[in-house]
Homo-oligomer: A and B are copies of this chain.
Amino acid sequence: MSAAESKPVSIFDVAKRAGVSHQTVSRVVNDAAGVADSTRAKVKAAIGELGYRPNRSARALAGGAVRSVTVLTTDTSLYGTAETLRGIEDAARAAGFTILISVLDPDEAYTETDILARLPHDGAPAIVIAHDETTARAMQTLQKTQAHATVATGGEHLGVEQPAADWLVSLDDRTVAARATKYLLDMGHATVHYLAIPSKASRRTGWAAALAEAGVEAPPVVPSGWSVASAYEAATELVADPDVTAVLCGNDDLAFGVLYAAHRAGRSVPGDLSVIGFDDCPLAAYHVPPLTTVDLDFRGVGRGAFELLRGKLEGGERPRPVWRSPELIVRETSGPPERRRLPKGFPCIHSFAAASRPRPRPGCSPASPPHPPRPGTSPSCPSTSDGSGASRSTAPSARSTASPTPACPATT
């Protein structure tokens, strides 16, 4: 309350004011036992009057409980990273931890010392959001010397499966990638192409596995950057090929890029081309057309990572995060391939496409299917209470597995 431009109040100031020793104040501040209630009250009063706040540096230096986590990452503005960070934050805040962020440059080659210097002090707890080479290497460095206080998320580059490691929280996106691929194959697509994010992603493995299982030769992976723009560029060639009828994308942003490229190439979606993303970012459900994607609970991963770390730090029995399998959310960018296939290299496919495209047509009828957009956080669907895996009720548009119900007939 009384905060002038003077020396900050220390534990000794409080002690004098309350007529006790500094150690007693320390005990009160840290909720330690062995302080009489009357004394505790006196001290608390003094703290209030003086506006005392503990100095974290001093506390850390003196060997108190650490109460801070350093998060190492490369790009805080990517959806997955940002959400993971949010999860860590949420959990950390609830536990009274402070968060330090250390952003690494994906293009720089760091020495081990460079990485260790990112920590506030030796042995400081850290979480690495490992979605690329740089962060994966950082994790390996920390593993060597600070294993007791380090946890990673993601980590496709780390070459470890979740069940094996007690320092990794990740998603089983390999399985769901396989499921998504199989879903497309089952629908009649001859093959599924994969537009890859820059990461040795397990998603790719899942995709390849599903193709192999179906006896389909995997087409070459199409590499892309992280941005919509790079996906657009990477996809232009792909969507120009009428034999390409289904594209699985490394994340939603890439899917949007493909969708835009498809639009410019005159391919209709999903009649002509099916596109599936990864992430279920907030926009996915509200895109035109709504994007079929995979619901990846990055926030849960972040929370899990923090809890895991806290468990290692405090030794006590903390709930270990489970390795949940994400779910495929079928919306309106995926469906069976066009029955009436176009001859390869056909100059203009507009008339065909327009005639047979079922749904996502702006300027359609206002009497579209009822739309219950409740993208809140309620986890389970009250009415449709079968947990059969392929859909979730958090997304606005209802699932549509096969048989695309034409919302508006081709012409009135």
Contact = CB atoms under 8 A, between A and B. Distances in A.
A359 to B, nearest CB: 11
Contacts of A93: 103, 105
A166 interface: no
Interface stretch (A171-179, A254-262, A315-323): A254-262
Interface in A258-272: 259-260, 262-269, 272
B283 A253 contact: yes
Interface string A57-72: 1101100000000000
A286 interface: yes
Given A56-B121, A117-B53, A121-B55, A286 B256 contact: yes
Interface stretch (A82-90, A188-196, A205-213): A82-90
A364 interface: yes
Nearest to A229: B375
Interface in A15-59: 51, 53, 55-58
A266 B288 CA distance: 12
A122 interface: yes
Nearest to A82: B77
A381 B110 CA distance: 35
Contact of A57 (B86, B121, B266): B121
B57 A120 contact: yes
Contact of A363 (B8, B77, B353): B353
A380 interface: no
A327 to B, nearest CB: 19
Contacts of A55: 61, 120-122
Instruction: From A89, A227, A228, A256, name the one whose CB has the most chain B CB atoms within 10 angstroms.
Output: A228
B53 A61 contact: no
A261 B407 CA distance: 15
Nearest to A103: B89
A363 B368 contact: no
Given A77-B82, A350-B408, A362-B268, A53 B122 contact: yes
A137 to B, nearest CB: 16
Given A53-B122, A363-B266, A3 B350 contact: no
Contacts of A396: 229, 232
A20 to B, nearest CB: 21
A365 B266 contact: yes
Interface stretch (A94-102, A126-134, A157-165, A383-391): A94-102
Interface in A339-380: 348-351, 353-354, 357, 360-366, 368, 371, 373-375
Nearest to A146: B3
A360 B362 contact: yes
A140 interface: no
B268 A112 contact: no
Contact of A89 (B76, B353, B365, B366): B76
A282 interface: yes
A85 B51 CA distance: 30
A113 interface: yes
A3 B123 CA distance: 11
24 contacts: A1-B112, A3-B116, A3-B145, A9-B122, A53-B113, A53-B117, A55-B122, A56-B57, A77-B79, A77-B82, A101-B101, A227-B282, A228-B283, A229-B282, A229-B373, A229-B374, A259-B288, A264-B366, A264-B371, A266-B363, A266-B364, A266-B365, A283-B283, A360-B362
A145 B8 CA distance: 11
A259 B360 CA distance: 13
B408 A366 contact: no
A382 B258 CA distance: 28
A113 B51 contact: yes
